[in-house]
């Protein structure tokens, strides 16, 4: 059963405001949405990778959600590849929804793949001095 | 004879086709020669004192003090009434879960100073005549000229979001004076603190390479009498990034079509 769950949880991850090209203020800081659905498209690109997936709402209607991720530079370091997600894949994505309550948009927190693996974003680089 | 007449006729025809202003200049002193490009071999070869340090490398803002270390405030300077109105509107809407005039999110350039502290590396290539900087964020391009030139006449300069930067060496410090900014869709912060950057914005940066060469410090002194009183000061540090190169990053026309947040009701223009 595909489910859409809005959960209030404390976010442990650090918010990196300037990491995106846009302000993160549109997104909830402490609420997450869990989206179980089917991948429509996964775009591996800069400055944002993004996922589009169909998720049924409470009425059973398919809703297209767009989930915004960081750039491939960081995702590669977290184990991602350009073909990690393919159209038709069933996945569970956790993200932070819009404060406006509009459905269909979230900023990424994690994805659980059909094979059970869970991937996250690599935290934003803290300067990278070596 | 026929040939001379033909040449004179051709010259007369060319003059007749000139704009009146050009014809009027005939007989006057010729305009000053175009300055040498910073990449002209004869400019690069001019004798100059050795630079105290070389910034060539990739640099990333140091956020060890916290994830907001990329911001240039708070504290903010005392704002003019015009800027205060924008700031108050941004903060009010932020409390309502909305985002006010997020022009960077709509693909406008971040511009100086924010371009220096995005969460993306800044590649720098230093030559004797200039430092070329390219942020990975939207591949924003900036040149700091070191060849002794002056700022361009304000009447002919093309204003830009990164401005026109002229640098000079002051002991172990590089002092960079940047002027001629675009004064629209240009902001000093993002995500609530909506402080505009105007055409009167002037930024003086003092670059120092800290001992060990792995950390760059830039002291910012920023003035814009249209939007705040006095000097707005901030100091940022940047760490060398040696494990990745910058790549093509462009705000493509279809990007925001797939990022619904930028088209949502949260956005207020």
Average pLDDT over residues A86-95: 97
Establish if A1 touches chain B: CB-CB under 8 angstroms: no
DSSP string for residues in chain B: -HHHHHHHHHHHHHHHTS-HHHHHHTTSPPPPPPPPPTT-HHHHTS--PPPS----EEEEE--TT-TTTT---SS-PPBPHHHHHHHHHHHHHHHTT-EE--TTTTT----TTGGGGSSS-EEEEE-SSEEEEEESGGG-EEEEE-SSPPPPPTTT---BSS-EEEEEEETTEEEEEEE-B--SS-BS--SS---B--TT-EEEEEEEEPTTSSEEEEEEEEE-TTTBSS-EEEEEEEEE--S---------TTTGGG-GGGGSTTEE-
Q: A71: nearest CA in chain B?
A: B249
A103 pLDDT band, cuts 50/70/90, is: confident
Q: B31 is written with which tokens?
A: 């305009």
Task: Give contacts of A48 with chain B, Cβ < 8 Å.
Answer: 255, 259
Inter-chain CB proximity B70 and A68 less than 8 Å: no
**Digit-coded pLDDT (tens) for A15-68:** 444 467 788 888 998 899 999 999 999 999 999 999 999 999 999 999 999 999
Contact present, B234 and B141 (Cβ < 8 Å): no
| B245 to A52, A70, B38, B125, B219: CA distances (angstroms) | 29, 17, 24, 13, 26
pLDDT along chain B (269 residues), means of 10: 44 44 57 84 97 97 90 96 96 90 93 95 98 97 97 96 98 98 96 93 98 95 98 97 92 86 85
> pLDDT value at position A126?
52
A124 pLDDT band, cuts 50/70/90, is: low
Task: Give contacts of A95 with chain B, Cβ < 8 Å.
Answer: none
Inter-chain CB proximity B258 and A66 less than 8 Å: yes
Q: Which of B135, B259, B268 to mutate to test the interface with A (most CBs of A within 10 A)?
A: B259
**Digit-coded pLDDT (tens) for A46-57:** 999 999 999 999
Task: Give contacts of A18 with chain B, Cβ < 8 Å.
Answer: 70, 114, 117-119, 190
Contact present, B166 and B202 (Cβ < 8 Å): no
Which residues in chain A (61-100) have CB-CB distances under 8 A to chain B? 66, 68, 71, 73, 98-100
> pLDDT value at position B26?
56
> pLDDT value at position A123?
62
Q: A15: nearest CA in chain B?
A: B67
Q: Which of A40, A43, A47, A108 to mutate to test the interface with B (most CBs of B within 10 A)?
A: A47
In three-state secondary structure terms, A109 is: strand
Report the distance separating Cα B143 and Cα B176, nearest Å.
Answer: 11
In three-state secondary structure terms, A54 is: strand
């Amino acid at each position: 059963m595909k489910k859409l769950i809005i959960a209030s949880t404390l976010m442990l991850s650090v918010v990196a405001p300037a990491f995106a090209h846009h302000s993160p203020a549109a997104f909830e800081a402490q609420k997450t949405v869990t989206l179980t659905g089917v991948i429509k498209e996964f775009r591996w690109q800069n400055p944002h990778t993004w996922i589009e997936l169909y998720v049924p709402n409470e009425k059973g209607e398919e809703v297209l959600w767009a989930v915004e991720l960081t750039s491939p530079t960081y995702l590669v370091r977290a184990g991602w590849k350009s073909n990690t997600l393919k159209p038709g894949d069933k996945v569970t994505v956790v993200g932070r929804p819009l404060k406006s309550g509009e459905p269909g948009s979230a900023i990424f927190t994690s994805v659980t793949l059909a094979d059970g693996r869970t991937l996250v974003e690599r935290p934003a680089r803290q300067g990278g001095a070596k | 004879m026929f040939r001379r007449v033909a040449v004179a006729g051709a010259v007369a025809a060319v003059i007749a086709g000139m704009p009146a202003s050009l014809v009027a200049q005939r007989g006057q002193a010729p305009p000053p020669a175009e300055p040498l490009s910073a990449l002209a071999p004869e400019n690069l070869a001019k004798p100059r004192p050795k630079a105290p340090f070389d910034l060539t490398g990739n640099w990333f803002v140091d956020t060890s003090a916290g994830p907001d270390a990329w911001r240039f405030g708070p504290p903010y300077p005392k704002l003019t009434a015009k800027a205060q109105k924008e700031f108050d509107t941004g903060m009010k809407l932020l409390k309502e879960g909305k985002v006010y005039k997020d022009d960077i999110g709509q693909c406008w350039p971040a511009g100086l100073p924010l371009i220096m502290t995005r969460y993306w590396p800044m590649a720098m290539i230093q030559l004797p005549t200039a430092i070329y900087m390219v942020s990975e964020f939207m591949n924003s391009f900036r040149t700091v000229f070191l060849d002794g030139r002056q700022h361009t006449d304000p009447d002919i300069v093309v204003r830009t979001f990164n401005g026109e930067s002229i640098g000079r060496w002051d002991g172990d410090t590089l002092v960079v004076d940047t002027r001629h900014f675009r004064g629209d869709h240009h902001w000093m912060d993002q995500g609530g603190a909506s402080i505009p950057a105007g055409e009167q914005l002037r930024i003086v940066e003092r670059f120092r390479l800290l001992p060990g060469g792995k950390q760059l410090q830039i002291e910012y002194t920023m003035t814009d009498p249209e939007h705040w009183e006095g000097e707005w000061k901030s100091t940022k540090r940047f760490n060398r990034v040696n494990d990745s190169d910058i790549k093509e990053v462009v705000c493509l026309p279809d990007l925001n079509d797939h990022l619904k947040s930028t088209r949502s009701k949260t956005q207020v223009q």
